[in-house]
Amino acid sequence: MNRSSDEVAQFVLSWYIGNMVNIRATKVNWTVISHRPDGLSLPLGEAESEKRMKVERVQTGVRIEKHLLKVLKGLAEYLDMSLGDLLEGIVLHAFEGKSPFEANTLEKIEQLKAVYGMEFGSEASHQMIED
């Protein structure tokens, strides 16, 4: 099937405008669990849907320090989640003054920082400049 360049451009443009995603909060029978490498437990039993939260996710062009991004991507892969889900979780926890990670996940972050050459911590916040 041949498509004109206008049709292809229109398709590509619509791909990045945003995504509608249904997220279900669930009440779970915790008798059967699966242990993830990060120490979190996931329910495997039957879940009752209590409420649904409809969200709209949008593509963004955020600029971020490259070593930090590599660590975040590595952590998302380790936790078997998308980078966007990881960032949403970190921010939502920070907004409530909570730590988003348990001790074993913080250890993994330190390992990833060493692997990807991230030699700074929170003291660098708002102090970074670009070449």
How many angstroms separate the CA atoms of 120 and 108, rounded?
16
Instruction: Quote the CA–CA distance of 85 and 67 in Å, as a whole number.
Output: 19
Phi-psi region of 53 (alpha: psi -120 to 50; beta: other; left: phi over 0): beta
Work out the percent of the chain whose per-residue pLDDT is above 90.
56
On average, the pLDDT of the chain sits at: 76
Q: Packing angle between helix 66-78 and helix 83-95, nearest 10 degrees?
A: 100
Question: Residue 98: which pLDDT band, with cuts at 50, 70 and 90?
Answer: very high
Read off the pLDDT of each residue in 85-89 and give the average, rounded to a whole number: 94
Q: What percent of the chain has pLDDT over 70?
A: 61
Burial class (CB in 10 A: 0-12, 13-18, 19+), 71: buried
Cα separation, 79 vs 40, in Å, equals 9
Mean pLDDT of 97-122: 96
Residue 52 near residue 86 (C-beta atoms within 8 A):
no
Helix%, strand%, coil% for the chain, nearest 5: 40, 20, 40
pLDDT band at 16 (very low <50, low <70, confident <90, very high): very low
